[in-house]
Amino acid sequence: MNLSVCNPVRITVALLITALTLAGCSGSSDSQSPAANDNSSVADEMLADATVESDVLDTTDAEGEADSESEGPTVLQDTTTVEPDNQNTAVPDPMVQNMTLVNFDIEVPAFQSNALQVRLVWGDIVTTAAWVGDEFWSVSQNLPTNTVNPLIVTFSDGNGEVPLASFEQDFRTGSNASETFQIRVDQFDTDRWDSDGDGVSNLDELIAGTDAFGLPSLLLFSETRGFRHDSIPDALTAIEELAVSAGMQTDLAADSAGVFTEENLANYDAVVWVLTSGDVLDADEQTAFENYIRGGGGYAGIHAASDTEYEWPWYGDLVGAYFARHPQIQPATMNVEDGTHPSTAHLADTWTRTDEWYDFQSNPRTRVNVLLTLDENTYSGGGMGADHPIAWFHDFDGGRAWYTGGGHTTATYAEPDFRAHLIGGIRYAAGLTE
């Protein structure tokens, strides 16, 4: 060995071994004297120093062999790993917020069915919301921060088969860990979804025909081919409100096309003719409605429902009498002939209110059960005399029918007594009461 280039680490280790031997240390001894412990501590420190020196002065070459022939000074080895250019992939900083939890709170149009769905699409992400209660749905989704995509929300019946309403808008996420985005019912577009192209939206004519949790069901029919009352929207709103309180669901039909079929009418406990006028049903639709009543269906007619279908005698018998004329709108008093029926049980012996009071082409008394009669002495222009029925009910051709001559004015549908009269008659027509 050339001592001029000897390894100082080897010399240090040799001296350490000699020191340990002289101290009489033994790795197999379970007990040591204090002097031995002191010598052991010194040896431990020397060994630690030798280890550090070995780490710092290591001069092994790339093959792992000691370079004992080097004549120059010892050089520290650079242990930095250099990655190839094609491996320089950026890794997201885990400390930087790059996802946002977005809570979507959604209020959809009122619609009762056991097969509703609310579907959200944002970029490539598709998810469905959960029903919260009433018309409210909700869903939470992790989305990339500071990113914009079109947001499309579709409200459907038939488990997604029949679109009822939709919302479309660009939506950009923020940079917070979470945020809430609300969609109101008035932001939904319902008019664009008209599957049969008849001008009435799917939402208004129940194209899907799904069952609404087994609740009694009403079809509110308001088509007009003659005079159209300004109070029709108020009447429809009032009936929808009353139906909810009475545990019934409602569907609207402003047109008979595709609605007055035997298959579709079978979904309803009663059809309410809401201020209809003129010739609204064709021959096939008339046959379908006749069969519906004969199968135990219900009919409720409001005001101008008696100004409808003059060329269809069966309908005239169903409604009870056809409209003839009316004087100006004015207060009048009605006598309650039957105070046990659900449409009149809330009234006293007489009922005074303001409306447009109809005369009829014939007195229906012999064909129906009269509920209310007008006292022509309490208003001017009445033309039927002392016996002037204005509301009645009867069993007809296998079904049930109820009619009221009131309901011309918008104010009518805000009157508590008239609203009770209305829902009582509809419940009778739907078979919920006797």
- CATH T-level topology, domain 215-429: Rossmann fold (3.40.50)
pLDDT at 210: 56
Cβ atoms of 55 and 12 within 8 Å: the answer is: no
pLDDT at 422: 97
Cα distances (angstroms) measured from residue 407 to each of 71, 276, 353, 355, 392: 117, 12, 11, 7, 14
- Parallel, antiparallel or unpaired: strands 136-144 and 130-133: antiparallel
pLDDT at 43: 42
pLDDT digits (tens, 9 = 90+) for 376-423: 999 999 999 999 999 999 999 999 999 999 999 999 999 999 999 999
Residue 70 tokens read as 């080097």
What CATH homologous superfamily does 99-187 map to?
A: Immunoglobulins (2.60.40.10)
Q: What is the reported pTM?
A: 0.56
pLDDT over 80 (residue 188) = yes
Give the mean pLDDT of 331-346.
97
Close Cβ partners of 211 (under 8 Å, ≥ 6 residues apart): 113, 114, 267
Give the mean pLDDT of 247-258.
92
pLDDT at 132: 81
pLDDT digits (tens, 9 = 90+) for 99-144: 999 999 999 988 767 788 999 999 999 999 998 876 889 999 999 9
Average per-residue pLDDT in the chain?
Answer: 82
Give the mean pLDDT of 331-358.
97
* Choice among 16-25, 311-320, 359-368 with the minimum mean pLDDT: 16-25
Give the mean pLDDT of 309-314.
98
pLDDT over 60 (residue 25) = no
pLDDT digits (tens, 9 = 90+) for 125-137: 999 999 887 688 9
pLDDT cut 90: percent of the chain above it: 65
pLDDT over 50 (residue 258) = yes
- Parallel, antiparallel or unpaired: strands 350-355 and 298-302: unpaired
Q: What are phi and psi of 203, to 5 degrees?
A: -65, -30
Residue 110 tokens read as 């009122």
pLDDT at 204: 78
pLDDT at 400: 98
Cβ atoms of 403 and 319 within 8 Å: the answer is: yes
Torsion sign over Cα 243, 245, 249, 254: positive
pLDDT digits (tens, 9 = 90+) for 205-232: 655 555 555 679 999 999 999 999 999 9
pLDDT at 100: 94
Torsion sign over Cα 186, 192, 196, 200: positive
Residue 308 tokens read as 């409808």
Greater pLDDT, 47 or 214: 214
95 band by pLDDT with thresholds 50, 70 and 90 = low
β partners of residue 183: 106
Q: Which of 31-45, 48-62, 153-167, 304-318 has the highest mean pLDDT?
A: 304-318
pLDDT at 68: 37
pLDDT at 390: 98
Give the mean pLDDT of 292-316.
98
**Domain residue extents for the chain:** 1-58, 99-187, 215-429
pLDDT cut 70: percent of the chain above it: 75
| Cβ-count burial 393-419 (b if 16+ within 10 Å, e if not) | bbebeebbbbbbbbbbbeebbebeebb
